[in-house]
Amino acid sequence: MQDLIELNHLSYHYPGSPNHLALNNVSLTIQAGEWISIVGPNGSGKSTLAKTINGLVRPQEGTIKVNGQILTDDTLPTIRQMIGMVFQNPDNQFVGSTVEADIAFGLENLGMPTDQMHERVTSLLQAIDLWPLRHRTPAQLSGGQKQRTAVASAIASRPQVLILDEATSMLDPASRDMILSLVRQVSESQSLTVIAITHNMEEVLLSDRVVLMREGAITTIATPRRLFDNPQLIEEHDLTLPVLEQLRHALAKQSIHIEEPLINTESLKNALWTYNSTM
Ligand SMILES: Nc1ncnc2c1ncn2[C@@H]1O[C@H](COP(=O)(O)OP(=O)(O)OP(=O)(O)O)[C@@H](O)[C@H]1O
Ligand SMILES: [Mg+2]
């Protein structure tokens, strides 16, 4: 696989806080098509790191390379076109006057023919289950409905990289599953690279690698499985194991060993069937 994003020794302090490093010597390489989760306590630098990739934050030290191009004032517009981003706060990212117009906005800018644009917007409105609300304005939507719109808008122009900054935080479990399965489907069919900042450990299971941050630095990069098998790492980063993983650990203490992380109740059932049949 090809290295798509290379962050080399990034350090950054916000203008008003010269003595506080929001990023402290961060290096990370992400390959095309990977799904990366970024986790860590509040204030550990996750959002700041994500914003370096599309130039919203410009580190005082280090270099950012996207698709072989070093990020500079000259390359910034090209790099930004490759990246879709959904921010923590869905209120600040509505650009259209309605849900439908918001999703279409980026496509209009790309000069897409009307028929094709209509088709893509319709299928996304259906995928996020907001077709009946397509003519609503942002003021007439809940926080979760705005978040769903923001994800659809970010995906619409088929970016190579999708950055989700706690984009599912306001969603109920059913809506979260809907959005994550949409992102997964797009990531598989279009080899989309996903960088997802999340406090939700179930979501972490979807990723190829997990980046753990603390105090502006990357402390560990691991597979979800290695992270979930390491209670000390979990504790050190103020994280909690998914409920099913807590159960797997509790069963292990009773000498019932299930090797694979448990993703859903189905995988729990299968694991217990397998266990019973080997007794
Ligand atoms: N605009 C800003 N000006 C000054 N300091 C900031 C600003 N934004 C963030 N910081 C500081 O930079 C550090 C990293 O913040 P960041 O928002 O990246 O953390 P985070 O990991 O995304 O946290 P959270 O989980 O709360 O979203 C924190 O110490 C924060 O207080
Ligand atoms: Mg944040």
Residue 14 beta carbon below 6 angstroms from any ligand 1 atom = yes
- What's the gap in Å between 93 CA and the centre of ligand 1? 19
233 token code pair:
């790492």
Q: Whose CA is nearest to atom 31 of ligand 1?
A: 43
Cα–chain-centroid distance for residue 180?
Answer: 9
* pLDDT of amino acid 279: 66
- Rounded to whole angstroms, the Cα distance separating 237 from 214 reads 7
- Using the predicted structure, report yes or no on whether residue 237 has a pLDDT greater than 80: yes
- Rounded to whole angstroms, the Cα distance separating 216 from 84 reads 23
Residue 42 beta carbon below 6 angstroms from any ligand 1 atom = yes
Residue 22 beta carbon below 6 angstroms from any ligand 1 atom = yes
Q: What is the mean pLDDT of residues 87-110?
A: 89
User: Which residues lie below 8 Å from residue 3, measured CB to CB, with a gap of 6+?
Assistant: 29, 30, 31, 32
Q: Whose CA is nearest to atom 29 of ligand 1?
A: 43
- Rounded to whole angstroms, the Cα distance separating 54 from 86 reads 12
Residue 45 beta carbon below 6 angstroms from any ligand 1 atom = yes
Residue 198 beta carbon below 6 angstroms from any ligand 1 atom = no
β-pair type (193-197, 35-39): parallel
Residue 19 beta carbon below 6 angstroms from any ligand 1 atom = no
- Using the predicted structure, report yes or no on whether residue 187 has a pLDDT greater than 70: yes
Average pLDDT value for the chain: 92
Label residue 198 by pLDDT band (50, 70, 90): very high
pLDDT in tens, 107-156: 988 889 999 999 999 999 999 999 999 999 999 999 999 999 999 999 99
Q: What is the mean pLDDT of residues 241-270?
A: 81
The DSSP line for 59-92 is: -SEEEEEETTEE--TTTHHHHHHTEEEE-S-GGG
Q: Whose CA is nearest to atom 2 of ligand 1?
A: 14
236 and 251 Cβ atoms separated by less than 8 Å: no
* pLDDT of amino acid 22: 98
pLDDT in tens, 33-56: 999 999 999 999 999 999 999 999
Q: Which residue has the tokens 């600040």?
A: 92
Domain edges within the chain = 242-279
Residue 187 beta carbon below 6 angstroms from any ligand 1 atom = no
Task: Return the ligand 1 atom nearest residue 17 CA.
Answer: 4
DSSP 168: T
Buried b / exposed e along 155-168 (16+ C-beta atoms within 10 A): bbbebbbbbbbbbb
